[in-house]
């Protein structure tokens, strides 16, 4: 049983999906963290996307996500993947068909073991087209930039995040595979004027209604 939550960067998908998974008693699959993990390793190993070194890295990488912790080959990189540097480079990694194919395979394998809330950009359209409930979470670009700046912290300014965000939104929308677009049967949910608690409460009610409609 799969619930998908897709949407653009900075909208709060990971936080909302994690809380929903806890309330529903589902597992939580943060697919965005998987792309960020590969981006981090690519930059650290100085292995450009598409290079032989990158392809070798991709074959050897083992990603584990549990209780908000992200590990690559046993190493905790949870904090390392939530930086402005990763934000600037993750779309390049996500655009790579080889990366997407590898991660789609990994995501399906992980979620095959039970009930999951899966968040990302192509969960409802590509990875889990038969999900029981599909949600496309969105907000204005100004709200998203402000939220992302707070998440990054430090001296990060929302104005600077907004510039990078617009570029990423454009790349995500034009990506040849797994592009950012709502599934035809997804519920489009705008959260500009809602608190995090309100978003979680409303989505939980919607998901439970969907679950209750399923045949025994």
DSSP 106-139: HHHHHHTTS-EEEEESSIIIII-TT-SEEEEEE-
Banded model confidence at residue 135, pLDDT cuts 50, 70, 90: very high
| Predicted pLDDT at 68 | 75
Q: What percent of the chain has pLDDT over 70?
A: 100
Distances (CA, A) of 166 to 38, 83, 100, 136, 156: 22, 17, 22, 18, 16
Given a cut of 80, whether residue 169 has pLDDT beyond it is yes
pLDDT digits (tens, 9 = 90+) for 40-87: 999 999 999 999 999 999 999 999 887 778 999 999 999 999 888 998
The CB density around residue 201, as the number of other CB atoms within 10 Å, is: 14
| Predicted pLDDT at 98 | 92
| Predicted pLDDT at 77 | 95
Banded model confidence at residue 91, pLDDT cuts 50, 70, 90: confident
β partners of residue 30: 119
Chain centroid, CA 81 distance in Å: 12
Domains and CATH numbers, the chain: 2-213 (3.40.50.300)
In contact, 6 and 172? CB cutoff 8 Å: no
Greater confidence (174 vs 129) lies with 129
Query: What average pLDDT does the segment 162-168 reach?
Result: 86
| Predicted pLDDT at 17 | 95
Query: What average pLDDT does the segment 122-137 reach?
Result: 96
In contact, 203 and 16? CB cutoff 8 Å: yes
DSSP assignment letter at 186: P
Average pLDDT, the chain: 91
Query: What average pLDDT does the segment 155-159 reach?
Result: 84
pLDDT digits (tens, 9 = 90+) for 2-31: 999 999 988 989 899 999 999 999 999 999
């Amino acid at each position: 049983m799969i619930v998908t939550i897709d949407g653009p960067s900075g909208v709060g998908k990971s936080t909302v999906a994690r809380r929903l998974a806890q309330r529903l008693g589902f597992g939580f699959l943060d697919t965005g963290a998987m792309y960020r993990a590969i981006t981090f390793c690519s930059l650290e190993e100085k292995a450009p996307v598409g290079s032989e070194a990158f392809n070798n890295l991709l074959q050897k990488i083992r990603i584990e996500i549990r209780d908000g912790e992200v590990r690559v080959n046993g190493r905790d990189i949870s904090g390392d993947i939530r930086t402005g540097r990763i934000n600037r480079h993750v779309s390049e990694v996500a655009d790579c068909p080889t990366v997407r194919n590898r991660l789609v395979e990994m995501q399906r394998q992980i979620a095959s073991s039970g009930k999951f809330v899966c968040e990302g950009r192509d969960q409802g359209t590509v990875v889990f087209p038969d999900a029981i409930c599909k949600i496309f979470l969105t907000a204005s670009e100004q709200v998203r930039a402000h939220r992302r700046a707070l998440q990054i912290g430090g001296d990060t300014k929302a104005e600077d995040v907004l510039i990078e965000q617009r570029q990423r939104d454009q790349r995500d929308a034009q990506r040849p595979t797994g592009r950012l677009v709502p599934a035809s049967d997804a519920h489009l949910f705008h959260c500009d004027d809602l608190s995090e608690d309100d978003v979680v409460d409303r989505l939980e009610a919607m998901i439970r209604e969907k679950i209750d409609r399923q045949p025994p």
